[in-house]
Amino acid sequence: MVPEEAVRLLDDDILVLMEEASGLAARIHPILRDSIGDLVRSMNCYYSNLIEGHDTHPHDIDRALANDFSNEPKKRDLQQEAVAHIHVQRLIDTGRDPDAWPASAAYASWLHEEFCSRLPPEMLFVDDKKTGARLEIVPGEWRKRDVQVGRHIPPPHEDLPRFMSSFDKAYGSPRLTRTRQIQTVGAVHHRLLWIHPFLDGNGRVARLMSHALFKRLGVGTSLWSVARGLARNEDRYKTLLAQADGPREGDLDGRGNLTQRGLVAFCKFFLERSVDQIRFMSELLEPATLLMRIEIHVEEEVRAKRLLRGSFAVLREAVMSGEVERSKIPALTGYEERGARNVTAGLVDRGMLTAATHRAPLRLAFPVEVAERWFPNLYPANAGSRT
């Protein structure tokens, strides 16, 4: 269940992860983190969906968040799935998740129920490949039948309470130090998938659990997500998951029934992908280069007469200070009050700025068209289909 303490292969990865995560968190103004969090949650949802074989275009996710759903049933279902995922991650990011330790049976059940209860009824069924029967997914409940996932045969359904009790004991132990807990995040991810407690939705629950666990351990934030790293290395992700399912290979391969080497290899991959994603976001959010990308984009928009001159000065203030007081906009833009209001209106209309009320300070927002320019490579070039 947990890599043995004698294993030192993961030590350097843990130290790098802690250092890189701390550097990223310190780089961004606390107010701006909230806006970035909205962007990262949509990104995380897109990549988590992709791993599940659900290719939902970022534009469709944006529309769904604005309560603009497609008339096409399948696309609408996927949009509702995206909204459900983002809802759950927002609860985690804002500290509105349960007090239960994330690596626990109770937390897994909460994740599954919170997510599945927001899905359309059509998505709460799976087909039995052997009999063709439609099987209902009950949000938050352990499966009540045996299943096979590829070549893997998870534990019998009647043994799930015992396996989930062992899960709790292994990962909720107060004897584990913080570094040991960080070391085992990949193991938690793998072992939950190995147990496969739910009829469907186990992969999504495992990834949300990993996100919550990193956050509780002080290295995860709303500024990054491992899901992008897993999706961009999906073949290796699934190969290492399968290899960690293998039986123990001799006396030097740990003490349990499953291979220690396979588990450690997956944990190392998981930590490396996490570090890779923190570094990716750190580069994107480096203030000087971020401002340069914003300025180039805004200049193009001004030349095309889609924005007014002075727009960049307002956006720069939002990046550096986290938000912009409306009273400062005339001085920032060089316009009188009416002209300053026109600049503001243009940025709000384009979705680049948002505010809780018409008098509240303005904060950055990142609709997909903007995110594609300000944050290159956030999504793959051929993400979904624009319809």
Residue 201 annotated as binding site: yes
Residue written as token pair 């928009």? 301
Residue written as token pair 């509702």? 80
Name the band, by pLDDT with cuts 50, 70 and 90, for residue 386: very low
Residue 140 annotated as binding site: no
Please tell me the chain's helix, strand, coil percentages from 3-state DSSP, rounded to the nearest 5.
Answer: 60, 5, 35
Per-residue pLDDT tens for 263-311? Answer: 999 999 999 999 999 999 999 999 999 999 999 999 999 999 999 999 9
Residue 275 annotated as binding site: no
Q: Which residues contact 290 (CB under 8 A, 6 or more apart)?
A: 284, 319, 374
pLDDT surpassing 50 at residue 385: no
Residue 151 annotated as binding site: yes
Q: Residue range 133-149: average pLDDT?
A: 94
Residue 206 annotated as binding site: yes
Active site annotation includes 29: no
Percentage of the chain beyond pLDDT 90 is: 79
Q: Can you tell me the distance from the alpha carbon of 365 to that of 362, in angstroms, rounded to the nearest whole number? A: 9
Q: Which residues contact 368 (CB under 8 A, 6 or more apart)?
A: 58, 59, 61, 62
- CATH: 3.40.50.300, 1.10.274.10, 3.40.50.1220, 1.10.10.10. Which one for 287-374? 1.10.10.10
Q: Residue range 154-160: average pLDDT?
A: 97
Mean pLDDT score of the chain: 92
Q: Can you tell me the distance from the alpha carbon of 133 to that of 269, in angstroms, rounded to the nearest whole number? A: 37
Pairing of strands 363-364, 125-127: unpaired
**Cβ count within 10 A of residue 290:** 17
Q: Can you tell me the distance from the alpha carbon of 379 to that of 381, in angstroms, rounded to the nearest whole number? A: 6
Per-residue pLDDT tens for 102-128? Answer: 999 999 999 999 999 999 999 999 988
Residue 150 annotated as binding site: yes
CB 162 within 8 A of CB 171: no
Q: Where in the chain is the domain with CATH 1.10.3290.10?
A: 10-285
Six-digit token string for 36: 């970035």
10 Å CB burial of residue 347 (0-12, 13-18, 19+) is buried
Say what the pLDDT of residue 11 is. 85
Indicate which residue of 54, 112, 196, 297 is catalytic. 196
pLDDT surpassing 80 at residue 174: no
Q: Where in the chain is the domain with CATH 1.10.10.10?
A: 287-374
Residue 204 annotated as binding site: yes
Domain 10-285 annotated CATH 1.10.3290.10: yes
pLDDT surpassing 50 at residue 26: yes
CB 225 within 8 A of CB 40: yes
Residue 324 annotated as binding site: no
Provide DSSP, 344-381.
HHHHHHTTSEE-SSSSSPBEE---HHHHHHHSTTSS-T
E strand intervals along the chain: 125-127, 134-136, 353-354, 363-364
Q: Which residues contact 284 (CB under 8 A, 6 or more apart)?
A: 290, 375, 376, 378
Which residues does residue 77 pair with via DSSP β-bridges, in sequence order? none
Amino acid at 25: A
Residue 59 annotated as binding site: no
Say what the pLDDT of residue 254 is. 55
